[in-house]
Amino acid sequence: MIYFVSDAHIGSKAITRGWAHQKKFIEMLNKLGEDAVSIYLMGDIFDFWFEYYTRDKSKKEYAPLFRCIRHLVRKGVHVHYFVGNHDMWTWGGLTAMTGMEVHFEPVTIKRYGKKLYLAHGDGLAPFDLENHYPRDVQDKIRRFKRLRAVFQNEFLQFCFRCLPPALGNKIGYGWAARSRQKELDNPCPFKGEKKEELVLFAKEEEKLGNHRDFYIFGHRHIELDLKLDTGSRVIILGDCFRQWTYASLDKHGELMLHNYEPEQTAPAPNA
C-alpha cells in the first residue's frame, strides 16, 4: 500500500496540546506503516521548519517524530517528503535526522499502473489567471507567488540562517501561528471546479497533453476527490490537525481517501 499524508503543521502555536498532536500523528504513521510500501508526506508537516548555521536545540521537541520516521525507513518503508510553504528551508537536516528522501519540486511517478503528479500545491495555478478570476483574486494569487519567491531567495535565506535560532524561530513560528489562526477563524472552503487553483492547474496540464491518472496535492486543507472530463482525478488531502485525512493507493491502482480515527480524541485548535 502507498499512503499520502499532508499538512500536519506539527509545532503550531495555534494548536492546543501540541505534544498530543504530535503523538497522534506518530500513531497514525505507525498504523500506516504496518502495510506501507511507501509513505509520501506532502508538505507542511511542520508549521515552521528552518535549519540554521548554529545548533537549534528547540528541534528536540520533534525527537519522537524523528524516531518514528527512522523506524519506518529502517523496516523498509520508503518515506518521501515534499517541502511546502512552511517547511521549505531544509539543507539536508531532515534527511540526516530521518532518512527520508526530500523533494523540492513536483514529481510525476508511475505506481501500480497509474501515473501520479505529486506536489504540495503552493504556487500552482493556471497561467491565464485573467480568464478565471476577478482582478482582486488575481492580485492575491500574484502576491502569494511573490512572497514565495522571497522565501526561496538564496541571499535572504542565507541572512536568516545567520540569525540565532531562538530569534529566527520567534519570527517564524509567530508568522506561522498568525496564518494558522486566521485560517481556523475563517477557513476557505472548496471554491468550485471553475475557481479552485489546483483544479484549474490540473485541467491546464491535461489540456497540454500531460495526462496523469491522479493529481495529488496538499496545501489547501480541504478534502477533495474530483474527476475531470479526461478521466483524471484531482485529490486534495485535507490536513492532519483538524480533519485527519489521508489517501491510499493499493496494488490494483485504486485510490481512496480516509479519515484517521484512533481511540483518543484529537487536540482542539484554539478558537
pTM listed for this prediction: 0.91
CA distances (Å), origin 241, targets 23, 120, 154: 12, 16, 31
Alpha carbon 183 to chain centroid distance? 15
Maximum CA extent, the chain: 52
Express each pLDDT in 207-260 by its tens digit: 999 999 999 999 999 999 999 999 999 999 999 999 999 999 999 999 999 999
CA distance 150 to 148: 5
- The architecture of the domain spanning 2-259 is 4-Layer Sandwich (3.60)
CA distance 34 to 23: 17
The radius of gyration computed from the CA coordinates of the chain, to the nearest angstrom, equals 18
Express each pLDDT in 81-120 by its tens digit: 999 999 999 999 999 999 999 999 999 999 999 999 999 9
